[in-house]
Structures are given as C-alpha cells and as structure tokens.
Structure 1
Amino acid sequence: MVGSRTATALVGLLASLFVTAALWWYFDSLFVFLFLPFVPFLFRGLGGESEREVRECPQCGFQTEAAEFDYCPRDGTRLERRR
C-alpha cells in the first residue's frame, strides 16, 4: 500500500508532466523547459498563510517561527512574541 505522501508526490509528478507536455505541444518550443522551473517563484506570495509569528527567548535570544515551540530548547524559558 502507498502512503499519502507518496501518493501526493506521484499525483504532483504526473500533473507536472502533463502540464509540461501540454505547454510544449501548445507553444511548440523547448523554452517551456527553461521557464517551468521558475513557476513556483511566481506564486510564492499567494499562499493562504498570513505573516508568521516570530517568538524569541528573552534569556538567550533563540528565535523561531515554528508553532511547536512554546519554550526555549536551550534553557526552558517561555518564548515571547517579538515586536
């Protein structure tokens, strides 16, 4: 049985190959292969996520954007929002 990450990767790969072949057929040029790797950079700012919250340890200066951290891994101090 295939895991969900593997299935998602396979679907993404197949969709990518389909889009690449369709663009190559439509434009009849290999320019598509030069342009296609840069497409993710075009949509970088369109994600649904808002600005991430940066939290910092007041004791040692450790900073993180990860929501998993409530306390500093270095000294155990509760992290505070950075202003």
Structure 2
Amino acid sequence: MVAARLATAAVGVAGSLAVSVVAWQVFDLPVFVLAVPFVPFLFRRRGEGSSPRTRRCPECGFTTRTPSVTHCPHDGTELD
C-alpha cells in the first residue's frame, strides 16, 4: 500500500515537473506550484491517515482511540 502511494506521488511529481518545464520553455513562465499537491505524500509517515489504534489500560480495561491519551484517567496506568 505504501509502495503504491509512493509510486503514485513520484509519477505525479515527475509529471508536474515535466509540465512545469514545458510551460517555462513555451510561455517563459515558471509554474512549479503544480508539484506542491504531491509533496505531502512523499513525507507522510507510515500509518498516518489510517484510523488510530485502540489503547487499553491493563488494570481497569479503559479503552481509547485518542492518540494524545497515553495514561488511564482512572488510575494513571500507562496504556498498552
């Protein structure tokens, strides 16, 4: 899945850069902004964009999907 996303982004960047070079040569106008929409795909970390994993307290069974919650609000135990 990650390889397909990276390949799509690479093709998009290469294509947009090619269009930019052609536009620059034909119209004498640099249009490098065409590559900007693909840049986030190249720097996105693995797992981003998917649903957050469920974390569980081993002591009381509290569960959460909020990434910022790292400890149980009931007893302060670190979540698994």
State TM-score, norm by structure 2.
0.38
State TM-score, norm by structure 1.
0.37
